[in-house]
């Protein structure tokens, strides 16, 4: 998987994290409503783009842990719960980043994390995870159905997904409807984090509409592919105050340095463990 480098704006101060794990480290029990959610088993062969699953001790997984640390700071200050993940243009890795972020925020089931596939033009989350198509976000908006009825818990990834579904009309019209805001509010009652995998910013208006309904947005840009002008335009369209940070995808040349220093660290401390040691805790 492409290496990911996080360029998130650091929050001011150190607030106590109300989402931190309990002292005994046990998994948090899902609230009663989530205990009834059906479970889908994910074949991890389909989840190979998720670094926390395919290479939990690699550089990509480490960068997502750093991103989690930064997000916790804002969540601890009561400023962040719903987050839009988007990109200036297509094919820049936003869905991959969204799935990795859901995995790292879930902390093996300690947090109730929901990923909403809100790219109704070109949804990819279900396909990437090998999930069958089923009604989802589009149908809930159009019919007013309880969104929790369309949510599935994914194992062993330990987070929840609301698939995009299929709209009967223009997808852009759904995000201008007044139904979406109360839908997110209802979901917010049940989850610690809600991530929206949105469509790209520049070709469509959907991401701009979605950015008005969440606490903040993360922009994903691919090194050597995303034009600086497209990134600047996306920030302008969403609003500089709403863009929490930028995730640079496809950074090359860092993995060798990481592996070298990682090996030196464990050699120096006499542990005998290497970068790929599967006995290490996440």
Q: What is the mean pLDDT of residues 117-139?
A: 93
Query: By the 8 A CB rule, do 97 and 8 touch?
Result: no
Q: For residue 137, is it left (φ>0), alpha (ψ between -120 and 50) or beta? A: alpha
Can you give the pTM of this predicted structure? 0.80
Domain boundaries defined on the chain: 29-268
CA 210 from centre of chain = 15
Query: By the 8 A CB rule, do 70 and 64 touch?
Result: no
Note the pLDDT tens digit of each residue in 214-258. 999 999 999 989 999 999 999 999 999 999 999 998 776 555 544
- Residues linked to residue 248 through DSSP beta bridges, in sequence order: 5, 221
Return d(Cα 36, Cα 199) in angstroms, integer: 30
CA 66 from centre of chain = 14
Residue 279: pLDDT band (50, 70, 90) is very low
Q: Where is pLDDT greater, at 168 or 275? A: 168
Range of weakest confidence among 1-10, 99-108, 184-193, 207-216: 1-10
Instruction: Tell me the two tokens of residue 202.
Output: 């520049």
Residue 77: pLDDT over 90: no
Return d(Cα 69, Cα 63) in angstroms, integer: 10
* Domain 29-268 superfamily per CATH: P-loop containing nucleotide triphosphate hydrolases (3.40.50.300)
SS3 278: coil
User: Which single residue is written with the structure tokens 């783009």?
Assistant: 49
Average pLDDT along the chain = 81
Query: By the 8 A CB rule, do 100 and 43 touch?
Result: no
User: Which single residue is written with the structure tokens 């030196």?
Assistant: 264
Instruction: Tell me the two tokens of residue 273.
Output: 């463990």
Residue 89: pLDDT over 80: yes
Residue 12: pLDDT over 70: no
Q: Where is pLDDT greater, at 2 or 250? A: 250
Q: Where is pLDDT greater, at 53 or 92? A: 92
Q: What is the mean pLDDT of residues 49-74?
A: 89
Question: How many Cα atoms sit within 13 Å of 164 on the Cβ side?
Answer: 22
Task: Say what the pLDDT of residue 28 is.
Answer: 54
Share of the chain above pLDDT 90, in %: 59
Cis peptide before 152 (omega within 30 of 0): no
Could you count the other beta carbons within 10 Å of the beta carbon of residue 8? 17
Query: By the 8 A CB rule, do 104 and 52 touch?
Result: yes
Q: Where is pLDDT greater, at 277 or 224? A: 224
CA distances from 168 to 135, 138, 177, 199 (A): 12, 8, 14, 18
Task: Say what the pLDDT of residue 60 is.
Answer: 87
Return d(Cα 68, Cα 97) in angstroms, integer: 12
Residue 274: pLDDT over 90: no
Task: Say what the pLDDT of residue 179 is.
Answer: 77
Range of weakest confidence among 143-147, 168-172, 258-262: 258-262
């Amino acid at each position: 998987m492409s290496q990911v480098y996080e360029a998130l704006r650091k929050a001011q101060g150190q607030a106590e994290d109300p989402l931190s794990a309990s002292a005994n480290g046990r998994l948090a029990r899902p609230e009663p409503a989530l205990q009834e959610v059906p479970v889908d088993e994910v074949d991890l062969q389909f989840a190979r783009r998720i670094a926390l699953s395919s290479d939990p001790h690699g550089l990509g997984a480490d960068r997502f842990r750093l991103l989690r640390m930064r997000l916790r700071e804002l969540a601890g200050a009561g400023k962040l719960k719903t987050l839009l993940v988007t990109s200036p243009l297509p094919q820049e890795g936003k869905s991959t980043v969204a799935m990795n972020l859901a995995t790292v925020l879930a902390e093996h089931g300690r947090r109730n994390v929901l990923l909403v596939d809100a790219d109704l033009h070109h949804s990819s989350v279900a396909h990437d995870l090998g999930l069958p198509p089923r009604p989802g976000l589009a149908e809930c908006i159009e019919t007013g159905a309880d969104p929790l009825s369309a949510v599935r818990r994914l194992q062993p990834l330990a987070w929840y997904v609301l698939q995009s579904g299929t709209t009967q009309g223009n997808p852009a019209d759904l995000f201008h409807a007044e139904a979406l805001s109360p839908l997110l509010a209802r979901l917010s009652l049940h989850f610690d984090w809600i991530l929206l995998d949105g469509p790209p910013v520049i070709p469509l208006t959907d991401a701009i509409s979605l950015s008005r309904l969440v606490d903040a947005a993360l922009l994903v840009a691919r090194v050597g592919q995303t034009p600086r002008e497209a990134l600047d335009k996306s920030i302008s369209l969403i609003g500089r105050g709403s863009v929490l940070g930028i995730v640079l995808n496809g950074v090359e040349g860092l993995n060798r340095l990481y592996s070298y220093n990682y090996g030196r660290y464990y050699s120096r401390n006499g542990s005998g463990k290497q970068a790929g040691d599967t006995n290490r805790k996440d």
